[in-house]
Copies of this chain bind each other. A is one copy, B any other.
């Protein structure tokens, strides 16, 4: 089969460089162009020595002849850069948040800008294959999910879908530091972040409406709401989201066994999302596209605790983007992203 040509916009961030690593090794893809304005003209291997073998040069603008483009640009700018390409017929996977939310009104509220093409929000598909595989297969514009939402939605989806819990949900997430990106900040300065845990965005984090949107699609109450508190923990890669939900009266009377069955059935056949029997650890996913889901019944307090674990740069960003591309182009869904986790 002929390889498709792919490009990456903004290869110099962590999602971008992880895309380059994965796409370079993808059997059905030829990575032909990588952009990055500040590093334009440099070899990719100068900026990222682990990719020296690619021989690629970073350019200011994308080369024209690509079949698919991945945007790892920040929000707002991403839409601006993507739209002309999209209109020329290039398939797009957008790692930014610019096409994730369906309601145009949420962009000024959460991202402080008016969406430049609100008519595309309905057309764009939220790229969580476990929930939207069929639509992704037909899409030409996929909004790649956020890292926190990936872990939280996959942990909670079976509960919400089957109406087993009340819809007042709590998501307490702990993320590795790469999730904060490659831009220098004091909180991500090594001496400040090492040996340190901190909560942040207590007044509201942009991933909250995204979690709510996708879970609400599975719910018929119209009242689903999420209290989301993210934390940064001192590791490079990995997210663990610990989610709390109240069991609805009369539900889950079959106990932990019923709960396990609900999850096992929900994720049956999924190539990357696994329901596990022991508490999952972030390191069990390092460098891989896996999502580990672990539901626990707490009968005494009438709760389900559901844990979702991913590598934030792979299933939480670049790996899932490639999974979406695989589905869009009819490649085997695991092509290029089937590497086992690197442990320890």
A85 within 8 A of B: no
A278 at the interface (CB under 8 A from B): yes
Contacts of A280 in B (CB 8 A): 49, 198
Cβ-defined contact, A202 with B296, below 8 A: yes
Closest to A50 in B: B341
How many copies of this chain does the complex contain? 4
Residues of chain B contacted by A233 (CB below 8 angstroms): 174, 197, 233-235
Considering the chains assembled together, what is the distance between the CA atoms of A50 and B311 in angstroms?
A: 12
Scoring A199, A279, A300 by chain B CB atoms within 10 A of each residue's CB, the highest score goes to A199
Which among B198, B227, B284 is the interface contact of A244 at CB below 8 angstroms? B227
Q: Let me know if A8 is at the binding interface, CB within 8 A.
A: no
The size of the chain A interface, using a CB distance under 8 A, is 79
Contact A184 B182 (CB under 8 A): no
Listed by A's residue number, 28 A-B pairs whose Cβ atoms lie within 8 Å are A21-B343, A25-B339, A49-B278, A49-B280, A49-B292, A50-B284, A50-B286, A50-B340, A50-B343, A174-B231, A174-B233, A178-B191, A188-B190, A190-B193, A190-B234, A194-B194, A194-B236, A195-B282, A196-B235, A196-B281, A202-B279, A227-B244, A227-B298, A227-B303, A229-B305, A234-B234, A236-B344, A244-B244
List residues of chain A with CB under 8 Å of any chain B CB. Answer: 14, 17, 21, 24-25, 48-53, 168, 170, 172, 174, 176-178, 182, 184-186, 188-200, 202-203, 225-227, 229, 231, 233-238, 240, 242, 244, 274, 276, 278-288, 292, 294, 296, 298, 300-301, 303, 305, 307, 339-344
